[in-house]
Amino acid sequence: MSTLYEQLADSLAQRIRDGGLQAGERLPSVRQACAQAQVSPATVFQAYDLLESRGLIEARPRSGFYVRKQARGKAPPAQAEPARADSTEVAISELVFEVLHSTRDRDVVPLGSAFPSPTLFPLERLARDGARAMRQLAPQALTTELTSGNARLREALRARSVRQGLQVGPDEPIITNGAMEALNLCLQAVTRPGDVVAIEAPTFYAALQALERLHLRAVEVPTHPQLGVDPDGLAEVIARHGVAACWLMPGFQNPLGALMPNARKQAVMRVLTQAGVPVVEDDVYGELHHGSTRPLPLKALDRESLVLHCSSFSKCLAPGYRVGWALPGRHSHAVHKLKMMSSLATSVPSQLALAEYLEEGGYDRHLRQLRLTLANSLAQLRQLVLRHFPAGTRVSQPEGGYFLWVQCPEQVDTLALHHQALAHGISIAPGALFSADQRFRSAMRLNGGHPHDARIAQAVRWLGDRARSAMAG
């Protein structure tokens, strides 16, 4: 599906990551590259543009393209944090509530936000599409298509899912109020109060909240900042704790941005299959790959119907519409029942706007543009952090999504920093949100999904200064 220039950019990006092309090294001239790759000059230019927007190379006037320097000593951490031996009760919701609430002030610099800028979405077209579809709707459809969702939207999602290599049963997908509801319903379908659930460390705080709400216990599995959850660690945790289910995010994990390689996904599926443990897969960032290929969902490797796959349109197309979906495999009936019991159905106006949009076409064109924009703004944010934060800071280098995971030196307490920053009109997502214990107290998640502007530059500089002060004293 990827174009020639995207393939060329991907292979160059791989060489930069491998060290085959070193920081400061000059890339082949356009003429050389044409000859090497057997492509046209236009293709090379487009590939170099793409790499520049992803922050990997820089143009120097009258000289050519060079691999961008990543500030010294600031590589992402090579090792995941060790996990605690015990399972723990979860009580994170009050902190999450407080932090999220505070970041919803429109005047605050939204580095702590979970959403990319809403200006990046085709909101006018969605409004138009929704109005047209609602006018044409047979009134009866308002009360007959309740729990499982609108037939047109389900059909469009089924087709997309099949193209991604997923098996879709006749009762799938089940449309939900955003991925949040899908994840919650799926987790509830495979657990009972008191059960132990394996989660990543760090993990998306919604997983912690879901565990708290359902009276479940958490056991955290070491998770590599680039490669995702450790299959051996997962096996050990399952063996030791009698885990009832897992909650994983193999594609552009929140907050790390980790993209699990396919071989690692296969290893994880082997572990889960052997133990017969179901896994709730959160794939909401899967479409936001910066490279040319969409990561394979865990569910595409699932032979035993152990994966309950969840996603949504909230980060890719339609924030605020609250439309997500679940592909729960053999747990579909249970999830369907839970959906009926907890919220009955999903907004028909929201579903119809999306059905109409998807049928008209143009979603993939929109995604292509969105990925470029996000890759660019994330790369810019990363450069700012590298420039302004103290030595010893480690910064993730995600290949998708729009989050940056920043690990400050241990003297920095990001929860304290969050309070100071908020008083200064800046939000961050402190590390404490992403674990049931205190081990990420010096880390933070920053949102790179907003177009670069002076306010953001000043905010990062201010954060870096405060981090430096914290180290000094």
196/84 Cα distance (integer angstroms): 14
Question: Does residue 404 interact with its own copies by CB under 8 A?
Answer: no
Q: Least CB distance from residue 264 to its own copies, whole Å?
A: 30
Question: Does residue 181 interact with its own copies by CB under 8 A?
Answer: yes
391's tokens? 């030595």
Site for its own copies in 264-303 (CB under 8 A): none
Cβ neighbours for 258, distance < 8 A, ≥ 6 positions apart:
223, 224, 225, 226, 227, 228, 252, 396, 398
Question: Does residue 177 interact with its own copies by CB under 8 A?
Answer: yes
Candidate segments 128-136, 277-285, 355-363, 373-381, binder of its own copies by CB under 8 A: 128-136
Closer by beta carbon to its own copies, 323 or else 408: 323
In this structure, are residues 185 and 239 in contact, taking their beta carbons and an 8 Å threshold? no
304: left (phi over 0), alpha (psi -120 to 50) or beta: alpha
Q: Are strands 64-67 and 57-60 parallel, antiparallel or unpaired?
A: antiparallel
* H or E element at residue 383: helix 363-388
In this structure, are residues 263 and 230 in contact, taking their beta carbons and an 8 Å threshold? no
Candidates 19, 61, 139, 276: give the one binding its own copies (CB under 8 A): 139
Question: Does residue 188 interact with its own copies by CB under 8 A?
Answer: yes
173/351 Cα distance (integer angstroms): 13
Question: Does residue 10 interact with its own copies by CB under 8 A?
Answer: no
Site for its own copies in 322-351 (CB under 8 A): 322-323, 336-338, 340-350
Measured between its terminal Cα atoms, the distance across the chain in Å is 53
Question: Does residue 469 interact with its own copies by CB under 8 A?
Answer: no
CA distances, 136 to each of 131, 139, 276, 348 (Å) = 9, 9, 46, 13
Candidate segments 97-105, 272-280, 365-373, 389-397, binder of its own copies by CB under 8 A: 97-105
Question: Does residue 455 interact with its own copies by CB under 8 A?
Answer: no
In this structure, are residues 228 and 76 in contact, taking their beta carbons and an 8 Å threshold? no
Candidates 57, 245, 306, 353: give the one binding its own copies (CB under 8 A): 353
197/191 Cα distance (integer angstroms): 8
The phi, psi pair for 36, rounded to 5°, reads -65, -45
Q: Least CB distance from residue 336 to its own copies, whole Å?
A: 8
Question: Does residue 463 interact with its own copies by CB under 8 A?
Answer: no
Q: Least CB distance from residue 357 to its own copies, whole Å?
A: 12
Look up residue 378 and give its amino acid: L
106/119 Cα distance (integer angstroms): 13
203's tokens? 């993990």
Taken as a whole, the chain contains a residue count of 473
Question: Does residue 109 interact with its own copies by CB under 8 A?
Answer: no
> In which residue are the tokens 């799938």 written?
172
Question: Does residue 192 interact with its own copies by CB under 8 A?
Answer: yes
Three-state DSSP class for 436?
coil
Closer by beta carbon to its own copies, 18 or else 107: 107
44/56 Cα distance (integer angstroms): 15
Candidates 173, 286, 295, 319: give the one binding its own copies (CB under 8 A): 319
Q: Least CB distance from residue 176 to its own copies, whole Å?
A: 8
Q: Least CB distance from residue 222 to its own copies, whole Å?
A: 26
Q: Least CB distance from residue 456 to its own copies, whole Å?
A: 15
Candidates 42, 142, 159, 162: give the one binding its own copies (CB under 8 A): 142
Candidates 4, 137, 275, 367: give the one binding its own copies (CB under 8 A): 137
Q: Least CB distance from residue 68 to its own copies, whole Å?
A: 31
Closer by beta carbon to its own copies, 41 or else 320: 320
Closer by beta carbon to its own copies, 38 or else 136: 136
Q: Count residues binding its own copies (CB under 8 A).
A: 68
105/107 Cα distance (integer angstroms): 5
Q: Are strands 174-176 and 196-201 parallel, antiparallel or unpaired?
A: unpaired
Site for its own copies in 208-267 (CB under 8 A): 209-210, 212-213, 215
Binding site for its own copies (CB under 8 A): 93-94, 96-97, 100, 104-106, 113, 115, 117-119, 121, 123-124, 126-128, 130-131, 134-135, 137, 139-147, 176-178, 180-181, 184, 188, 192-193, 206, 209-210, 212-213, 215, 319-323, 336-338, 340-350, 353
